[in-house]
Each structure stands twice: as structure tokens, then as C-alpha cells.
Structure 1
Amino acid sequence: MIKITYVTADGTEQPVEVEPGMSLMEVATLRGIEGIVAECGGGCSCATCHVYVDEAWQQTFEEPAPEEADLIEFLDEAKPTSRLSCQLVLRAEHDGLCVRTPASQG
């Protein structure tokens, strides 16, 4: 099991423990994490699972695919640490990961 902490826009921390192999979006929807809508269910087509990955963890994930980068480019609240949580698959090395949700999705 690995521990992941989601921090909502209002600063509320929501720690969860999960098995590696799930995406951050899957975990969020299964655990009822506020701030992740995931309208497309993980198809990388809606950007309603936008999160900010703490800088220290950015390099533990692969670079965004062109489809993800295109969606992020058009988000009002995009930052250099923006990612779509449906594209971030958790591995054992992500134990302790912290991600933040934006004030709004979509």
C-alpha cells in the first residue's frame, strides 16, 4: 500500500492508502475526493481531473502525452505543475505523494 494525500483548494487534506497500479483519478473517484470531477472517466478528453503535482514529484511521472498537454494548455488555472490525474498511474515510488486540486474543474 502507498499513501497519497490530496489537498483541496481550501486546504483540506485527504490522505488515502491504495495499491499501486491505479491512476490518481481512479483513486479520487473511488474515495470521494472533492475537487476531482472526472467527467470522461479517464479518457483524457475533458480535463476535469486536473491536479497540481508537487514539484518534488514531477519527475516520477512520464512527460504528458500531446493529448494531455493540449487539454492543460486551455485550462484557466493551469500552472507548470498541472497534470491530468487520469494520466498519472501510481507506483510504489509514489508513496508520500501530495497533489492539490484547483478551485474549479472544467
Structure 2
Amino acid sequence: MLNWKEYRTQLRDRIGEFAKIAPETIKGYQTLSNAGQKTNHLDPKQRELIALAVAVSLRCDGCIVVHTTEAKKLGATNEEIAEALGVAVAINAGAALVYSARVMDAAEAVAV
């Protein structure tokens, strides 16, 4: 398995290097990242649990380590994290079903 603490440090360092080269890109990312927090409709822990489900769906290791760390800092339990991940599993399975229907539709449309 991945050494998540080491990976997070390496990722932070590499993104820091990228920020020096492309500061406006990082500024734009931070604006997007902070935008939802301003409404306060969801508490920070809920936002992190959602971020974890999305991270799994996107298969983003960097997102996983950052949002797992933040979720745990905010008091998320392993059971809460597992429940959020269950949503990701269900949505990804659902998406596979929807796209399977699209493939079947395409198969009928392109019949040779």
C-alpha cells in the first residue's frame, strides 16, 4: 500500500513548485475550492466526506490523502468515511449502468 503521509508531503512539495511557476492557476484553484465554504449550508466535515466520495469516483490519490486527512481532523469516523464511500460505489455502479444503456443504444444504431 501507499505510504500516505510521505505521499502527501511529496505532493505538497511538488504543488508548491508548480505554484511558483503558475501562481494564477493555484489562485484559481483556491478560489474554486473555497467558494462553497462561504455559504455554510454544509458543515466542513460533510464537505470533506463528499470530497472523499468524489475523489474515489475520480480516482485521485492526491484528493484522497488530502480529504481523508481533513475529514479525520474534523472528527470523521471510519464508519462515516465508509458510508460516504458506499455512496461513491453506488453512484459509480449506477453510472456504469447508465453508460451500459448508452452502449446498447449505440450498438443498435451502428448495426452493420
**Under a length normalisation based on structure 2, what TM-score does the superposition of the two structures give?**
0.30
Bigger helix fraction: 2
Bigger strand fraction: 1
- Which one has more relative contact order, counting CA pairs under 8 Å at least 6 apart? 1
Larger Rg, first or second structure (1 or 2): 2
**Under a length normalisation based on structure 1, what TM-score does the superposition of the two structures give?**
0.31
